[in-house]
C-alpha cells in the first residue's frame, strides 16, 4: 500500500481503481489513458455479474436505481485491491446541464464505503471538465507538466462520432434508447440487444449519434436540464421516424427516466411507431425480458410489412 500523504512516494506506482460502471461507459478509455499517463497502475473492476450486484445491494438503499446499486458493487470489489479510487463527480456540464442527484451522490456513498484506508479521488466537474481533471491529476502525480501532457493525450479519446450513421432503406431497425451505462453494461443490456439482433434487427443506439444531435436545444429538449436525459430524448427525436420501433430501457427508481420516457411514449403513439418500455432492476429476469422483446419485435415487423404493402 502506498502512503499517499508521504512526500516522495509519488514515484511508486499508485494503484488507482476505476469502477467499470456508470460513467465508465462514457469516459472510461479517457480515464484509463489519463491515469496511466500519470504513472498510475490502473485497475478496472471486472464486468458486472450477479455477485457484483448482490454486493452493491448491501451498501445502498433498496430505493435507488439499478446503476447506482451496480456501481456500489464495483466499489466494494475494488476497495481491497487499490490505493485510491477514481470516481469523478459530474455535477454539471456545459450549458448548466446537470447530472441526476443520485449520480452526484455516489461519491459520498463511496467515501463511506472506503473509509480512511483508500483515498477517494473525486474531481467535481462544474462546467469545466478539463480543469477539474487537471486538478485531480495532481493528486496522482504532482508534476503539472506531466499532468498537462497526460490530459492532452487522453482527451483525444473523448471524441464521439462526427456524423450520424446511415439509415438505409429496406433495413430492419429498432432504436434502443437508454443510458450508456445500461445499454453497454452487458449484465443489463446484452439480452435486449442480442434478442433484437437474432430477429434480424439492426439496433440503433443513442451513442452512435454525434454530440451536436444529442445536445440539441430546441422545443421540449431545451426544458430538460438533466444532461443525459436530454441526450436520450434528442436521440429518440432523431431516430423515431427512421426505425420500425423504439425500445426504451428505464431503471426502476429513476425519476428522470420515467418522466422523459412518458414524453417519448406519447410522441411515438402520435406517430404510430411501436414503443416498448422495459423497466429494469436487480430482480429483472433475462427470460422475461427476452419474451417481451420477442413479442415487440413481431409487432414491429407486422407494422413494417403493413407499411410496405400500403
Ligand atoms: S439518471 Fe436515473 S438511472 Fe441514472 S443514476 Fe440517475 S436515477 Fe439512476
Per-residue burial over 108-130, b = 16 or more CB atoms within 10 Å of its CB, e = otherwise: ebbeebbeeebbbbbbebeeebe
**What per-residue confidence (pLDDT) applies to 217?**
86
**What per-residue confidence (pLDDT) applies to 5?**
41
List domains and CATH numbers for the chain.
9-158 (3.40.50), 173-309 (3.40.50.11900)
**How far apart are the C-alpha atoms of 81 and 119, rounded to whole Å?**
12
Cα of 143 from ligand 1 centre, angstroms? 36
Cβ–Cβ under 8 Å, residues 16 and 42: yes
Cα of 256 from ligand 1 centre, angstroms? 7
What is the grid cell recorded at 166?
A: 446511415
**How far apart are the C-alpha atoms of 54 and 272, rounded to whole Å?**
40
The DSSP symbol for 149 reads H
Averages of pLDDT over runs of 10 residues in the chain (310 residues) are 46 88 97 98 97 95 94 97 96 86 94 94 94 97 97 95 91 96 94 96 96 88 89 96 96 92 96 96 91 96 87
**How far apart are the C-alpha atoms of 104 and 111, rounded to whole Å?**
13
**What per-residue confidence (pLDDT) applies to 107?**
95
Strands (E), 138-270: 173-177, 202-205, 245-251
Atom 8 (ligand 1) nearest CA: 65
**What per-residue confidence (pLDDT) applies to 12?**
66
Cβ–ligand 1 contact at 178 (below 6 Å): no
CA angle, 178 then 258 then 286, to 5°: 55
Amino acid at each position: 500500500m502506498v502512503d499517499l500523504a508521504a512526500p516522495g512516494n509519488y514515484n511508486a506506482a499508485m494503484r488507482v481503481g476505476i469502477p467499470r460502471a456508470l460513467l465508465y461507459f462514457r469516459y472510461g478509455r479517457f480515464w484509463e489513458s489519463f491515469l496511466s499517463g500519470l504513472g498510475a497502475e490502473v485497475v478496472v473492476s471486472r464486468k458486472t455479474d450477479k455477485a457484483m450486484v448482490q454486493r452493491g445491494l448491501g451498501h445502498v438503499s433498496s430505493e435507488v436505481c439499478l446503476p447506482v446499486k451496480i456501481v456500489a458493487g464495483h466499489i466494494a470489489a475494488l476497495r481491497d485491491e487499490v490505493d485510491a479510487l477514481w470516481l469523478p463527480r459530474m455535477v454539471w456540464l456545459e450549458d448548466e446541464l446537470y447530472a441526476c442527484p443520485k449520480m452526484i451522490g455516489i461519491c459520498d456513498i463511496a467515501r463511506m464505503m472506503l473509509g480512511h484506508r483508500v483515498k477517494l479521488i473525486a474531481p467535481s466537474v462544474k462546467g469545466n471538465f478539463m480543469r477539474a481533471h487537471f486538478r485531480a491529476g495532481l493528486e496522482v502525480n504532482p508534476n503539472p507538466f506531466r499532468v498537462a501532457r497526460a490530459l492532452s493525450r487522453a482527451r483525444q479519446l473523448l471524441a464521439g462520432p462526427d456524423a450520424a450513421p446511415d439509415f438505409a432503406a429496406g433495413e430492419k431497425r429498432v432504436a434502443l434508447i437508454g443510458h450508456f451505462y445500461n445499454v453497454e453494461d452487458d449484465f443489463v443490456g446484452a439480452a435486449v440487444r442480442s434478442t433484437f439482433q437474432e430477429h434480424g434487427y439492426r439496433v440503433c443506439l443513442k451513442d452512435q449519434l454525434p454530440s451536436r444531435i444529442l445536445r440539441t436545444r430546441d422545443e421540449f429538449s431545451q426544458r430538460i436540464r438533466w444532461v443525459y436525459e436530454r441526450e436520450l430524448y434528442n436521440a429518440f427525436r432523431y431516430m423515431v421516424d427512421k426505425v420500425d420501433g423504439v425500445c426504451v430501457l428505464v431503471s426502476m427508481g429513476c425519476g428522470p427516466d420515467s418522466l422523459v420516457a412518458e414524453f417519448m411514449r406519447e410522441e411515438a403513439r402520435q406517430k404510430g411507431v411501436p414503443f416498448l418500455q422495459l423497466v429494469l432492476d436487480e430482480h429483472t429476469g433475462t427470460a422475461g425480458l427476452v419474451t417481451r422483446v420477442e413479442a415487440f419485435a413481431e409487432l414491429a415487423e407486422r407494422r413494417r410489412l403493413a407499411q410496405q404493402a400500403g
